[in-house]
Structure 1
Amino acid sequence: MYETGKTAFTRRAILGAFAATTVVAAPTFTNAAGLLRGAGDIRRIRMYSSRTGESMDSIYWIEGEYIKEVIKEINFFMRDWRSDRTTSMDIRTVDIMAASHNLMDISEPYMLLSGYRTPQTNAMLRSRSRGVAKNSLHMKGMAADLRLKSRSVGQMAKAAVACNAGGVGRYSRSNFVHMDCGTVRSWGR
């Protein structure tokens, strides 16, 4: 215990004051990396694919460093399942996904509907739907289409928009949210 004049400071009181300051300061982070910094020294991604039957629950960042082996696993997991082709996913998209997941305070993994798409896959999907962009960021490994059973499209989109770090598309009729690391923008209902 420390005493100054008539005021006594205990270690517990000092730590309590620090914790209260940290909680008040936490909401000031405005992008995905900032939100993840507030989450501690690890970043984790949880996903599954009903198309391939695969799932992953991996820590991909520890104490300021991305784990190369896990990033390779993420690239493979987010591959174009139609052609089995991979690309180097832009890790900023994964950071946005992880930050959004943290904001929703859930443990349920994302269902990955679409990560990387080859130009051929994108053209095929574009011929079937007017909602597929000709120059989709999926073809650059910069986007993901995701679904959660426990959260609505609106809840997922709100969390992603709060990251203020990329594009967020709401596809309520198809029950999924698009997240990308392109320019900050949003669309859909």
Structure 2
Amino acid sequence: MSKSTSALITRRALLGAFAATTLTAAPVYANAFGFLRGAGDVRRIKMYSGRTGEKIDMIYWIEGEYIKESLKEVNYFMRDWRQNSAFNMDTRTIDIMSAAHNLMDVSEPYMLLSGYRSPQTNRMLRARSRGVAKNSLHMKGQAADLRLNSRSVGQIARAAASCAAGGVGRYSGSNFVHMDCGTVRTWGR
């Protein structure tokens, strides 16, 4: 066997092993704790934005390590589209979103309504609605407002709340759920 054939087989074997690990590790919940329950050994995030038309579907964490390049893409995707301003999202929020998604056992991506919010955007939204906090965790990259067509606000909120890792707000009238990595609390209907 030539050196290049040996390397090719090894590369194929590694890719096959990685694919098998990804498929078998994803549903493992037995050793998970707290908000990581449901995240598995591979964490993935799937979202789309109706505002920008962008989609994201990526593994951002494998076997205890965040993938920096993936997080950069998530940060850009979750940017304040009004200001075209990106921010480093708190990985705890991304983990809560991922775990809740896994617990609901859906393949549909989240629709991201709001991730990072610049202070300017937060002030503008606050002027339009009393439901926007003055010191919103969105401005710290610690919150996301999400929707799924295949699940109700109640179902999404229950999945997020079961992670017991942050705030979960139900906004049934606007058909979305707020998830953040702040103090554990719930609100809304």
Judge same fold: TM > 0.5, yes or no.
yes
Q: Does 1:180 align with 2:180?
A: yes
1:170 maps to which residue? 170
The equivalent residue for 1:89 is 89
In 2, are the aligned partners of 1:33 and 1:99 still within 8 Å (CA)? yes
Identity of aligned residues (%): 73
Shift of 1:34: 3.8
Alpha-carbon distance in 2 for matches of 1:48, 1:100? 16
- Asked if the contact 1:60–1:70 (Cα under 8 Å) also holds between the matched residues in 2, the reply is yes
| 1:118 CA drift (Å) | 0.4
Aligned-partner Cα distance in 1 for 2:185–2:125: 22
Residues 37-90 of structure 1: per-residue CA shift (max 9 Å, x gap): xx2x21000000010000000000011100000000000000000000011000
The correspondence for 1:35, drawn from 35, 38, 60, is: 38
Once the two structures are TM-superposed, the CA of residue 35 in structure 1 deviates from its matched residue by: 3.4
SS of residue paired to 2:38: helix
Shift of 1:31: 1.7
Superposition pairs of residues 1-40 of structure 1, within 5 angstroms: 26=30, 30-36=33-39, 39=40
Equivalent pair of 1:42/1:63 in contact (CA under 8 Å): yes
* 1:119–1:139 Cα contact (<8 Å) kept: yes
3-state SS of paired residue (1:149): coil
Q: Measured at CA, do residues 50 and 150 of structure 1 come closer, stay the same or move farther in structure 2, by a change above 3 Å?
A: same
The DSSP-based 3-state class of the residue aligned with 2:174 is: coil
Divergent runs of 4+, >3 A:
none
How many angstroms apart in 1 are the aligned matches of 2:37 and 2:175? 28
Aligned to 2:143: 143
2:18 counterpart residue number: none
TM-score, normalising length: structure 1: 0.83
Deviation of the 1:30 alpha carbon: 5.0
The RMSD of aligned alpha carbons is: 1.4
Gaps of 5+ in 2: 1-27
Q: Which amino acid aligns with 2:176?
A: F
Q: Secondary structure at the match of 2:57?
A: strand
**What letter matches 1:150 in structure 2?**
S
Deviation at 1:29, TM superposition (A): 5.1
Query: TM-score, normalised to structure 2's length?
Result: 0.83
Counterpart position of 1:19: none
Matched position secondary structure for 1:35: coil
Name the counterpart of 2:125. 125
Change over 3 Å in CA distance of 1:163–1:175 after alignment to 2: same
Whole-Å Cα distance in 2 between the matches of residues 136 and 175 of structure 1? 19
